Structure 1
Amino acid sequence: MWINGVKQTELSARDRAVQFGDGCFTTAAVVNGQVVMLAAHLQRLKDGCERLLMRIPDLQQLAKEMQQAAHGQAQAVLKVILTPGAGGRGYSRTGCTMPTRILSLSPWPHHYAALQQQGVVLNTSPVRLARNPLLAGVKHLNRLEQVLIRHHLDQTGGDEALVLDTNGTVVECCAANLFWRKGNTLYTPRLEQAGVDGIMRRYLLAEMAASGQTCQLIDSHREEVLNADEVVICNALMPVLPVRQIDDVSFTARSLYQQLRASCPTMEVS
């Protein structure tokens, strides 16, 4: 782990990440010593800082630190956290003069390879996401809802969760975004009220648009997803996985999965 460019594991208890969950983060794939989609991850961090009214760190310096962390790694996961730093009184950031940069590496999730073959089982989570347009889309550090979603999911044996908001609208999974197909029409949830606008979601939407394919961003209920011909999930590490079951409903089609997988960056070690 590196904190502000120094290899260490100690963070001030006064840092606003500790005090208030004040900050944002991104999780990137490292393959063959390179950060996959580095520019997109830097843009996400910049966007997160702007949305949270945080000072943006030197992105060239951050990119260099990310590349240094990735160097020599065949496959790994790189997490980057940005916070306003330590200081301030109460909720005020006054006195926070130096943003904190935290980089950490963790092992590659090899179970994704098996899930590509067998498909993912989603269980509808009893935990609903609060609707909050001010923070919707941002990967901020306040992830208690996801912690509770994962806790419930761990009791079920499912691979991932189908997550709704407090209005019953389908939003995402615990740690992934969601696409589905009905006939030739593609859908993904709008994220204007809740959820995380993931790196891979952005990438796939851009790839579809570039190829002239339309994906409708909609507010839908669980029943519409269960009525789909095919469902896939994605994040920056998977990068896309087919869904074979949601609760007691099964899916067998994989044409959308094959299409999206072919357009994704490779995660294979050379």
Structure 2
Amino acid sequence: MLIQKNAKMISDHEHQHLVSIEDRGFLYGDGCFSTAQFIRGEIQLWQGHLARFEKAISALCLNCDMDRINTAKVKCLDQISAQYGENAQGTIKVLISRGQGQRGYAPPDQDADLYFYFYPQTAFTTEIPTLEKVGLIDQALSTPMQQLRGIKSLNRLEQVLLKHQANQQAWQEALCFDQHEHLVEGISSNCFVYLEGQWHTPDLALAGIDGVMRQEILSRMQHFQIAHQIRKISRSELASVQAIFLCNALHPMQIVHTLIVDQVQQTLDHHLCEQLFQQLQLHDF
């Protein structure tokens, strides 16, 4: 794993990198992050990740501009190339913390700390991943304050607990709902469902993260004139769903094979997902 902090590249293969226990990212989850696929010498969908950071930095009042992130990115990629070769591929996580501060909630006036983590991977499969069992989470997602809606902050405690629930049920993923029982997203992904002859994805106005891959898929749907809707999807509608796929920056499509609704297993149509995968040319990722 490579870590870049304040434009200085650090390798912790031999020495563990230390972060102060007074770092606000550790104490309060005071910061934001984004995770991306690294392949062919580039961070995929980088402009989408930058847009995410620009929104988060403004909402969280962090002192970190886009030029600094782009400069850090170039140095990170140079380091990856030097250490792993030009054909390196894997996952990159970019994390911004407000940094070390005094006791108390009041944010210090200082430059934020910037980290790049690289997790090398030997190969990416060209097959579309399948999720054998996906269930429905009963616990409703909280509705964040307006300023924090859509922000991928370092506070992921909801997702940690939801993933624990899914693991207890032996589900590979799970669908989450808001307090009005409207579909929001997967635990670590956005979702698209096939209903009434077309694709739908949840309205995320009240909860959830509008992921960069979701944005890319919606853009391609519009470009290729594939009928779709962004709307509120009620929990009850999932009893008649024909197909579902989940997506995130690391997986443009994960096909749901079996959906478990009220302990009833529904086998879904994977061909609809595969057809869409080809139409949207998602093999580019």
The verdict on a shared fold, with TM-score over 0.5 as the criterion, is: yes
Q: Which of 115, 126, 133 lines up with 2:138 in the alignment?
A: 126
Mean CA deviation greater in 185-194 or 246-255: 246-255
Residue identity in the other structure for 2:175: L
Shift of 1:108: 4.0
Q: TM-score, normalised by structure 1?
A: 0.88
Using the alignment, how far apart are the partners of 2:188 and 2:60 within structure 1?
A: 21
1:64 and 2:74 aligned: yes
Structure 1's unaligned 5+ residue stretches are none
> C-alpha displacement at 1:256, in angstroms?
3.7
> Which residue is 2:47 aligned to?
39
Question: In the TM superposition, what whole-angstrom CA distance separates every residue of 1:4-44 from its partner, at most 9, and x where no partner exists?
Answer: 23315111222210111011100010113321122222221
Aligned counterpart, 2:221: 208
CA distance in 1, matches of 2:154, 2:122: 22
5+ residue gaps, structure 2, are none
SS of match in other structure, 1:239 = strand
Counterpart mapping for 1:14-163 below 5 A: 14-57=22-65, 58-68=68-78, 70-71=80-81, 72=85, 74-94=88-108, 96-108=109-121, 116=128, 118-132=130-144, 133-163=146-176
For 2:220 and 2:48, the matched residues in 1 are separated by: 14
**Preserved contact between residue 120 and residue 241 of structure 1 (Cα < 8 Å):** no
Instruction: Note if contact 2:9-2:76 (Cα within 8 Å) is conserved in structure 1.
Output: no
Residue 111 of structure 1: how far off its partner (Å) = 9.4
Larger Rg: 2
TM-score normalized with structure 2 length: 0.84
Superposed CA RMSD: 2.4
Q: CA deviation at 1:183?
A: 3.6
Aligned residues: 265
Cα deviation code 1:112-144 (max 9, x no counterpart): 767x36444211123321012432221111100
Structure 1 stretches of 4+ moved >3 Å: 107-114, 117-120
Alpha carbons 2:151, 2:209 under 8 Å: kept: yes
Q: Distance in 2 between matches of 1:249 and 1:69?
A: 47
Give the C-alpha shift of residue 240 in structure 1.
0.6
